[in-house]
Amino acid sequence: MLDTTWTAEAAEIGVRLDKFLAAPERLGSRSRAVTALERGRIYVNEIETTLADASLRLTAGVVIGIWMDKPGTARTPRRAVNAGALRIVHEDDAFIVLDKPAGLLSVPLDQRDAAPSAFEHVEDHLRSHGKKRPLIVHRIDQDTSGLVVFAKDARAQDDLKGQFRRREPERIYWAVVYGHPDPGAGVWRDRLAWDHRAQIQKATHPRDPNGADASSGYEVLESFAESSLIEVRLHTGKRNQIRIQARLRGCPLVGERRYTFDSIDRPEIVFARHALHAYRLAFRHPFDGRALRFEAPLPSDFADLLNVLRLSSLRARPRRER
């Protein structure tokens, strides 16, 4: 039944299941590990696991197995979706703005990856209207919800990508982080380098030639007992930038599975993904230069998280003496 099994060694005690699976010598990436867990292909000591078990900490001698061809776990062929399902915020002859749901890739990772993407859905939508394929302008992480833009022709793409390259668009994100950033507003500045083997962003030396400067403005919008809702304004747009910069300040995102401190003993706030939402996007129209601004309301899971945190904070407050 199982195609491959691995036995956790002493050095892997305490490692999360999803991190163990994502290692280069196993599945090779977190996205593949998540997909395998979502589809019930992973077994721990011969017991089937799900995505809810991603944070399981390994113990020495535990046996992890994978059944790649498990019946019923193949991805259903992608079907065309309508404009309503795409959550189109704006569409004209030059570009299309989507409110991307969390869990959907912005663009396909590679030809071997079967995970669906917003690009493919936009492609279906445009094809149904007799139009050409969309062109990539920028992207957001798979588990990040919110605004993403695709161009409809090369001229619009060149102009929009130029604006992003010059850091002209206003890019506002909302995030829920552990702790309380101090001070309550400011600028995060770091030198980051992408680790191609580990597929993560890392802080590096200010003079590292392989590094790039990353800058974000932030402000605490609301504080809870053990966490905060913050607004982040991207000055640069490095991959995973907000996620790594928050972690470097000791305030990783709630739900974060990659940029976190496993050694910190703190109450876990349960959330199925990293709590990050691309809330506002403003740029110039690529054809006539008009100033445009778009906003995406918080998705239901993010709004529900905030309500839970508010209620928990109220319960945690000491009662006034009578």
Q: What is the pLDDT of residues 279-305, one digit of tens each?
A: 999 999 999 999 999 999 999 999 999
Q: What is the pLDDT of residues 168-227, one digit of tens each?
A: 999 999 999 999 999 999 999 999 998 888 888 999 998 898 899 999 999 999 999 999
Give percent of the chain with pLDDT exceeding 90: 56
Output the pTM of the full model: 0.72
**Better-scored residue on pLDDT, 275 or 86:** 275
Binned at pLDDT 50, 70 and 90, residue 99 comes out as very high
Residues with catalytic function: 141
> 39-44 long-range contacts, Cβ below 8 Å, gap at least 24?
39/70, 39/73, 40/70, 40/73, 41/66, 41/67, 41/68, 41/70, 41/73, 42/17, 42/66, 43/2, 43/67, 44/17
For position 85, what pLDDT does the model report? 57
Look at residue 109 and give its three-state secondary structure. coil
Binned at pLDDT 50, 70 and 90, residue 47 comes out as confident
Beta strands in the chain (DSSP E): 4-7, 42-44, 47-48, 63-66, 88-91, 95-100, 135-136, 145-151, 170-178, 185-195, 200-203, 212-223, 227-234, 276-284, 291-295
Fold that domain 4-66 belongs to in CATH: 3.10.290
Binned at pLDDT 50, 70 and 90, residue 122 comes out as very high
Binned at pLDDT 50, 70 and 90, residue 49 comes out as confident
CATH 3.40.50.300 assigned to domain 83-316? The reply is no
Q: Which residues, in sequence order, are CB contacts of 178 under 8 Å at separation 6+?
A: 226, 227, 251, 252, 253, 254, 266, 269
Give percent of the chain with pLDDT exceeding 70: 89
Domain ranges (residues) in the chain: 4-66, 83-316
**pLDDT surpasses 80 at 25:** yes
